């Protein structure tokens, strides 16, 4: 038999992570070499295992799936990334492709599509959920910079200006300026409304 496709899986929900690993392991040509609950551990595994494919969720602790995709592309370009998510939002799809993902599949697709997507991505073939593919071209372009997105995400989760300034080594005035710019771009009345709007569009 030809060499099997080696897969690292990153998914923060334990039960789903186990189910996905079992589903892929059934396939004779796919080997799951590690499963992890967050992006940071998955990146370490990619460094150690050098898998053919990294299958990752988007929302995870320590490092998001999009951040993980960017780092994997930069450090381990031979490993191709397949995003598997519940987020059926063109904004997330656009960001995933810009980060270097080869595939973007929704979790509610038929199970056999996952293994097929892993095979195609391992061969360097782009795989995009068909329901989203047609929407990406008409979707609004993300107006936020990376720094605005980072600060708005954390502010929306409840971090104060002081906490953000300390952890990011910025002045409080600079943090407020980033938040103000993000709020203005989104036409929101507060940081929390801005974060909600951005999440709904797939920009956070």
- Tell me the domains of the chain and their CATH numbers: 5-133 (3.40.50.2300), 146-200 (1.10.10.10)
> Which pLDDT score is estimated for 169?
94
> Which pLDDT score is estimated for 88?
84
Cα 55 from Cα 9, distance rounded (Å)? 5
> Which pLDDT score is estimated for 68?
96
Q: Taking 60 as the threshold, does the pLDDT of residue 7 lie above it?
A: yes
Q: Taking 60 as the threshold, does the pLDDT of residue 102 lie above it?
A: yes
> Which pLDDT score is estimated for 155?
94
Mean pLDDT of the 122-140 span? 78
């Amino acid at each position: 038999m030809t060499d099997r496709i080696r897969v690292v899986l990153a998914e923060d929900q334990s039960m789903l992570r186990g189910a996905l690993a079992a589903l892929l392991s059934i396939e004779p040509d796919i080997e799951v070499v590690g499963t992890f609950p967050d992006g940071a551990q998955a990146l370490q595994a990619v460094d150690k295992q050098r898998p053919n494919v990294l299958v990752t969720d988007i929302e995870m602790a320590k490092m998001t799936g999009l951040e993980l995709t960017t780092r994997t592309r930069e450090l381990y370009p031979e490993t191709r990334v397949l995003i598997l998510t519940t987020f059926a939002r063109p904004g997330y799809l656009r960001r995933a492709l810009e980060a270097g993902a080869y595939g973007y599949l929704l979790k509610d697709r038929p199970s056999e599509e996952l293994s097929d997507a892993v095979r195609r991505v391992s061969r360097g073939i782009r795989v995009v959920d068909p329901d989203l593919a047609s929407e990406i071209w008409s979707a609004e372009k993300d107006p936020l910079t990376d720094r605005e997105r980072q600060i708005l995400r954390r502010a929306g989760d409840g971090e104060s200006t002081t906490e953000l300034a300390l952890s990011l080594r910025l002045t409080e005035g600079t943090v407020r300026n980033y938040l103000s710019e993000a709020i203005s771009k989104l036409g929101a009345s507060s940081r929390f409304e801005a974060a909600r709007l951005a999440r709904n569009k797939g920009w956070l």
